[in-house]
Amino acid sequence: MKNIVLKQGRRFLSFFLAVSLLCACAPPNKSPAAPTGAGYEQFHARDLSAQNKFDQFTNDLFREEISDSGISFHFSIADPASRGLDTVPLTLGDFSLDKMKQGSKDLRELKMKLEDFNPRQLTDEQRLTWQILRSYINTELASDGLELYAQPLTTTIGIQAQLPILFSEYAFYTRDDVDHYLALLSTIDDYYGQIMEFEKKKSEAGLFMSDATADHVLKSCEAYLIQPDHSFLADTFNTRVDALTDLTDEEKASYKEKNLKVLEEHFIPAYKNLVNGITALMGTGTNDKGLSQYPKGKEYFEYLVNSNTGTSYGSIRNLTKAIEKQLNSDIQAIGQITKEHPEVLDHLDNYSFHYTKPEDILDFLKTQISSDFPELPPCSYTVKYVPNSLEASLSPAFYLVPPLDRYEDNVIYINGNPRFQNDDLFTTLAHEGYPGHLYQNVYFLSSKPNDLRSILSFPSYSEGWATYVEFYSYTMDNGLPPGLGELLAHNTAVTLGIYAYLDICINYEGWDKEQTAKYLGTFYNIEKTDIVDSIYNSLIENPTNYMEYYVGYMEIMEMLGTAKKILKDDFNLKDFHTFLLNTGPAPFSVIQPAFRTWLSKQLRNQ
């Protein structure tokens, strides 16, 4: 369900900048009795100068960010020459402890540069960007000294699982792209070597993963140990090369041979070295419980929550109370639905949607959302299936964010693994496609935002929106009996809420597996050991991952409820959705104040 991105060690901005919607104060009213024309013009001249400098500042920052990694560079912009960029970085980046520590110094320097600007002199859009960077810096500096707590290798969403997918989707626009691809793929063994050096330092500090987690990571690595001529990276490469029109048949054949050689000499050895390196470190990770069991684990968890969810709740305690409140609300809604429609219980194990084929579902969703969501510009999408060899190590589905200058082309992956056979494809595609990730990204990129904003990633805004609209899709005219869609939506929300709540209990409060099992058995009648083990292990291996989804959903639902309560009959769902979409990716700590401003304007317009 991820917007797939390559998470690297924190560097200057690490692609996880904050987007602020808090409107700073406008320039103060100048009210001398009769301001002279010269004074007025001088005031605006200073503003224009500051605005031009700020544009240059953000443009330089954008160029620096995407130039740190060849993968990030290529996936950020399809036509780099249009931004004056003519050198493709032929590296996957620097994943080292020294680089991470340097990142803190860079952030402090950036903060000083940012504070040289007076936000009152900037345009509204620039003022947002100013707030974005300030919010990001303050959040990321909280991780200073906690670099070794980072987890580059994790099941499903770790670098070792995601990077090959990005290579398989590396677009070939010209022959140069093929050369760049092969050069980048040739560095993967060196890049993974850096990661293993980092893992060794984690081990020396007593912070290496548990053996159970290591086993799961090893399985995901082993999925890529396929002979080159049978690898999905050979198949996808051949398809992309064959589509190029500026290559002869002989050149295409030559490139295919080169790719097989790179896979044999660099890609497969990279994964073998990961397997050997992780195996050698097994036994050094003595903590098989949550983050709270590490010396600074609770501190790191607080950082992760703020960085990954951008929540508006000021403390873990307040956030926990909000999760409990939303959980109770969804549980009460389930009770009310079953009271009004007792017959829905008979359909829980036997229901179907009108459409079951991906293309039919997406076409239906596009037409159904027109009444409650603003219109999109023309765009296309391709639905692909996860290669069989990778089904066990990847998410049920995911969406690839397109380059900022090529939002028209979108890709959605579906995982056909039998363990996901009970997932509803209809609502999954609402999450990944319309009106989920695809819709939200196309809407935002088509608005031509500042280049820097276009590369910012806020997991909880993105996943919160996609989760919210996934639940919305249950209530469409989709073929379900009356009441069943609402019941399924609330039930899924409760399931996700349980994960978010337990994430805090395990990684912050220190619950062990027995406490987790007691909670699930007492309150939700979940007593199967394999289910408890699965939940417990997934939360240990990927702290705050489920919170990205649930906290975003919860924050949106809180705003939705407030808007309905205050605006009453004047509430318009499309207007509310337009506000969230126009705001764009941001932490909820700054979306909430912007929402209150929007709400005040709606009241005045009544």
Which of 227, 255, 284 delimits the end of a domain? 284
Task: Spell 132-144 as b/e; 16+ CB within 10 A means b.
Answer: bbbbbbebbebbb
Per-residue pLDDT, 394: 79
Are 326 and 391 in a shared domain? yes
Pair (433, 542) in one structural domain: yes
Question: How far lies 321's CA from each of 207, 328, 511, 524, 575, in Å?
Answer: 30, 11, 17, 18, 29
In a domain, 350, yes or no: yes
Q: Look up tokens 């990730």; give the residue.
A: 437
Residue 456: what pLDDT? 79
Higher pLDDT, 592 or 129: 592
Q: Do 315 and 218 share a structural domain?
A: no
Residue 255 included in any domain: yes
Single-letter amino acid, residue 189:
D
State which of 516, 536, 552 marks the end of a domain. Answer: 552
Question: Is residue 125 included in any domain, yes or no?
Answer: yes
- 131 plus 225 within the same structural domain: no
Token representation of residue 83: 């931004």
Asked whether residue 600 carries a pLDDT value surpassing 80, the answer given is yes
Q: What pLDDT band is residue 35 in, cutting at 50, 70 and 90?
A: very low
521-561 pLDDT tens trace: 999 998 888 999 999 999 999 999 999 999 999 999 999 99
Q: Average pLDDT, stretch 556-584?
A: 96
With respect to residue 292, please indicate whether it lies within any of the assigned structural domains: no
Same domain, 277 and 311: no
Residue 574: inside a domain, yes or no? no
Nearest to 453 by CA among 404, 399, 402: 404
493 & 534 share domain: yes
Percent of the chain whose pLDDT exceeds 90 = 77
Domain contains 588 = no
Q: What is the pLDDT of residue 132?
A: 80
Task: Give tens-digit pLDDT for 141-159.
Answer: 999 999 999 999 998 889 9
The mean per-residue pLDDT over the stretch 288-308 comes to 96
Q: Tell me if 586 is assigned to some domain.
A: no
Provide φ and ψ at 311, rounded to 5°: -60, 150
Mean pLDDT of 196-200: 98
412 within some domain: yes
342-380 pLDDT, tens per residue? 999 988 888 989 998 999 999 999 999 999 999 999 999
Q: Does 34 have pLDDT greater than 50?
A: no
The pLDDT of residue 407 is 94
Residues 110 and 242 grouped into a single domain: no
> Are residues 133 and 164 located together in one domain of the fold?
no
Contacts for 341 with CB less than 8 Å, ≥ 6 apart: 482, 483, 484, 487
Same domain, 193 and 312: no
Going by pLDDT thresholds of 50, 70 and 90, the confidence category of residue 422 is low
179-192 pLDDT, tens digit each: 999 999 999 999 99
Query: Beta strand pairing status for 397-400 and 409-414?
Result: antiparallel
pLDDT given at position 129 = 84
Please give the C-alpha separations between residue 88 and each of 70, 77, 362, in angstroms, as whole numbers: 6, 11, 35
- Do 361 and 447 fall within a single domain? yes
195 and 87 in a single domain? The answer is no
| 32, pLDDT greater than 80 | no
Mean pLDDT of 435-456: 93
pLDDT band at 133 (very low <50, low <70, confident <90, very high): confident
The pLDDT tens digits for 454-474 are 887 789 999 999 999 999 999
Query: Cα 448–453–457 angle (5° rounding)?
Result: 125
Q: What is the pLDDT of residue 110?
A: 93
Give me the chain's average pLDDT, please.
Answer: 89
Q: Per 3-state DSSP, what percentage of the chain is helix, strand, and coil (rounded to 5)?
A: 65, 5, 30
Q: How many domains does the chain have?
A: 3
d(CA 202, CA 147): 9
Amino acid 302: pLDDT? 97
Q: Do residues 532 and 445 both lie within one domain?
A: yes
How many C-beta atoms lie closer than 10 Å to residue 343's C-beta? 11
Q: Which amino acid is at 553?
A: Y
Q: What is the pTM of this model?
A: 0.89
Whether pLDDT at 14 is above 70:
no
Domain of 236? 159-208+211-284
